[in-house]
A and B are shown apart, each in its own frame.
Chain A
Amino acid sequence: MNLLNTLRFEALHILRSTYKIIAILLFILVAVYGLHNGYSLYEERNNEIATIKETSQNLPNDALKWYETGQKGPEERPWVDVTTPFWAMWYANHQVIDAPSLLMTYSIGQAEQFAYYKRVSMWSTAYDKDLTAEISNPERVAIGSLDFSFVWLFLMPLLLIVLTYSIHGLERDLGFTKLLSVQEPNRKSWVAKRFIAIGVFCSLLLVILVVIPALLGGYLGSHSGTILLLTAYKFLYLAFWILLLAIISYFGKGQTDIALKMVGLWLVLTIVLPGLVHQFATLKQPPGFMMEYINAQREDREEIFDKELDSVKKIVFEAYPALRESKFAITDSLINQPARNGMYRTALNLHMNKVVNEILANHQSRNQLIRKTYFINPVMAFQNRINAIVETDFDTNQEYRKKIQDAATKINEQLLIDEWNAVQVDENHFRNYLNLLKEE
């Protein structure tokens, strides 16, 4: 029998069963809802970011006005002086933003656990306590978000089970497998063709569910490569399930037997194995409390601030050799308070860079452990791959944190050099500050 006829009869089998039709409709409904959830999160974040970009202009605009009028700062805060590098940098108000990927629609992934905007100053680090996720209901988050990747990775196999448990099962239950053998002696190919037909239907559904939001959002063209890759992975995942379910069906003894085995397999692959691996990884590498960070922010900080200026200077000069040419480096005795403060602040920043890198590496070693278990945990392997493609995974956030740390370092460096050259900040120089992070 050719594919077209197999498809026709498979469609007939589905259309003649209210149970299957309801299952498909429910699936589509939830898939659309999942896409909607992903897209509204994207919208929400974009709106938040727009507000932040707007309000973050207030401080620099104030400063620009003062430069024009020759003021040093607001009247009620007489200690502010925007002609000093420190206050100028403060009023530059740098924001480091992790713009949401448009493809978040397809998988919210871990995005809800992380912060995506932050004001970065000379004191900032990648693990500051203001880097917290949006306010959410922890119980809802624990139950899990309903996004399209959940629908495809967890519910699609259930839909497949509903559509295929009667393949070979019905024939066995009603006892006409002999008649089948007389007409088509190759049972393997018969089962395979029927599963392929179901696979074709689900692929069509996949393409529709992926393409329509992209068309509506108008990013099908601009993101075609990524969308293709995403679809390819989801298709591969579908093929993986079709293969497993077809094997169960081929060896199955009847509809109940097949349904039990299929649901059992689903349970093992989606709940038991991920849960077991999760528990195993937690025992092997328990999540920490960031003690190394806490200690760095308190103990190490105290230690650095208690040091003699000369010993701090040695470290910082090594990191930024350009400082050796600075005004205060040449005329040592005149070092003023801002330059002094800048030296200690930069020493702390350099130290925090090291600590943050260690924490990031530590996290990667936990991820390495998780990746090693992918071969027994295929569903989560697909989940993380998809999250990575749509940039809602852990690694995307790590990159963002690195960006914050780098931005803080950059701000510090510029500030310190200006402090050590006793720069008087004017409007032009302030504009350089504003563009400090934009160059990249």
Chain B
Amino acid sequence: MYNIIQNEWRVLIHNKRLISLLCIISVLLAVIAYFGVQDAKSSQDKKQLAKEQIRHQWENIGDYNPHSAAHYGTYTFKPTTALTALDNGINNTVGTVLQLEGHRQNEIIHSPDSQSLMQSRFGTLKPAVVLQFIIPLLLIFLAFASVSSEKEQGRLKLLYLQGVSTRKLLFSKTISYWLIGIVLLILSLGIQFLLFSNNSGQDLINRLLLIFLFYALFYWIVCSLTVYLSAALKNNTAALTSMLALWVLWSIFLPKLVGAFTEETHPLPSRQAFSAAMQEDRSKGIDGHNPLSEQEEKLKDSILQVYSVESVDDLPINFDGLVMQADEDFGAKVWDKHFGALDATLLKQKKTFQRSGLINPFVSLQSLSMGLAGTDNWHHTHFQQEAEKYRRVFIKTLNDHHAYGGSKTGDWSWTADQEFYNSVADFDYQTPIINKALPVYKTDMVFMGLWFFGSFLLLLIGNPKNTHL
């Protein structure tokens, strides 16, 4: 087996066109891996700067009414993960800026794509684009003639005479091309790791290892199928055109088709319907600014009872703070319900999309790649939820201070001092470790495994036509 692989490579090395193509792709990979890291680093720096600026403004707010401060609010910027440099995922389409304020949950806005003309339809050229689209194509180019040309040039007889079995032939051919893919994979992941080594926690290593594993599996699937077709179809052209057709179907055609399809099977509400439904639920609760509702009366009575006083004016605390917090608590419940339903629909769409991995391992690869890089919707939603958790604590701190900070009910001009505002912690988001995201990607991993074993079995028990003498 080793001899065949060695021989295969000897032939490849003498093919000048091929070597120059490989060199071009390696250089391209290295350059864009470097660009990707630069881009991610500059984005991280910019966000850090913006974050510091916002915090600086907060720490210079001066004497300020706590509720005005809740309206003043704060901003948070979705952090750029290290592996954004590798796979941009959904980063171009989702926003980066989130305003955290009282009364309402905002959306993450200002996506990069919404800030300029359309720039590409397959995304920024990150290493993942090359690894997903270009390397498989390269492997097809390399391997489509691997067995058929042996047959055409009559070397097959010689190999058989030397005691090489069909199985051995197919496996050694597959391995020789697969290893080329692996080398290119290591090149780009290596650059990524080295340039980002300053913050290489265990999680980054785990993510990179998993990314390596699944790309390697995909390359194996592509190589073995190409080699098998080369051995099974009547000539080079047939093998090449079938693999090219498969590549187009897998990488270009099906993902878009299935993507559009999932939106029809699990439709999302329109923004109008969504906010109307949310407003409907919200209106059933306490309106923080319009203190006339029934619920508020109940709250008032219970508080008056606790402090055993007759009216809110006699309370030692500021009742407005309590009302606003009750409103917040209710709003949080409404948000959880509606956004929970939205997330559930999105997850259903994702699951439907992932199921197309049964006929299209490319989809599983793409999905896993952005998931592992932390640039998928799961990580995005995680950030959104953590930010909302922070917002609740943030607003509660302000409302509590409004209630218990020493002001009386109805006093909207009372101010808290800078020291209080400084004591309100900033939002520090930590990207979750990969183990938490893996359950979402079970389908992809299973399908990828199935395809790998399927292609392995094909080489093991397949008996393609061209290997007959």
Q: Interface residues, chain A, CB within 8 Å of chain B?
A: 19, 23, 26, 30, 33, 37, 44, 48, 51-52, 76-77, 109-110, 113-114, 129, 132-146, 150, 154-155, 158, 162, 165, 173, 255-256, 259-260, 263, 267, 270-272, 274-283, 286-291, 294, 298-299, 363, 366-367, 370-371, 380, 383-384, 387, 393-395, 397
Contact = CB atoms under 8 A, between A and B. Distances in A.
Contact of A394 (B46, B57, B77, B117): B117
Contacts of B77: 289
Interface string B125-148: 110010001100100010011000
Listed from nearest, the 8 A-B pairs whose CB atoms lie closest are A275-B125, A274-B120, A287-B112, A146-B256, A278-B119, A142-B90, A138-B90, A278-B120
14 contacts: A19-B245, A110-B118, A113-B114, A135-B271, A155-B252, A274-B120, A275-B123, A279-B124, A286-B42, A286-B43, A287-B115, A289-B50, A363-B115, A370-B116
A137 B107 contact: no
Given A158-B252, A276-B32, A291-B50, A141 B90 contact: yes
Interface stretch (B94-102, B187-195, B411-419): B94-102
B350 interface: yes
A279 B39 contact: yes
Given A44-B270, A380-B120, 16 more contacts: A135-B270, A137-B350, A138-B94, A138-B377, A140-B349, A142-B93, A143-B259, A146-B257, A255-B240, A260-B240, A267-B134, A270-B122, A275-B129, A288-B115, A370-B116, A394-B116
A326 B194 CA distance: 69
Given A146-B257, A286-B42, A370-B119, A256 B134 contact: no
Given A129-B109, A137-B377, A277 B270 contact: no
B262 A279 contact: no
Contact of A281 (B114, B116, B141): B116
A117 to B, nearest CB: 8
A139 B114 contact: no
Contacts of A162: 241, 245
A367 B116 CA distance: 6
B99 A129 contact: yes
Contact of A109 (B90, B118, B346): B118
B252 A154 contact: yes
Nearest to B134: A267
Nearest to B35: A279
Contacts of A383: 118, 121
Interface centre among B134, B137, B272, B342 (most CB of A within 10 A): B272
A279 B274 contact: no
A267 B133 contact: yes
Contacts of A393: 117-118
Contacts of B380: 138
A113 B256 contact: no
Contacts of A44: 270
Given A135-B268, A139-B353, A289-B110, A282 B124 contact: yes
B106 interface: yes
Nearest to A283: B39
Contacts of B252: 154-155, 158
B117 A367 contact: yes
B312 interface: no
B292 interface: yes
B93 A138 contact: yes
Contacts of B321: none
A36 to B, nearest CB: 9
B335 interface: no
B114 A289 contact: no
B124 A278 contact: yes
Given A138-B94, A146-B256, A271-B134, A287 B116 contact: yes
A186 B248 CA distance: 35
B463 interface: no
A137 B346 contact: yes
Nearest to B119: A278
A150 B120 CA distance: 11
A113 B125 contact: no
Nearest to B77: A289
Nearest to A363: B115
Most interface-central of A140, A263, A387 (chain B CB within 10 A): A140
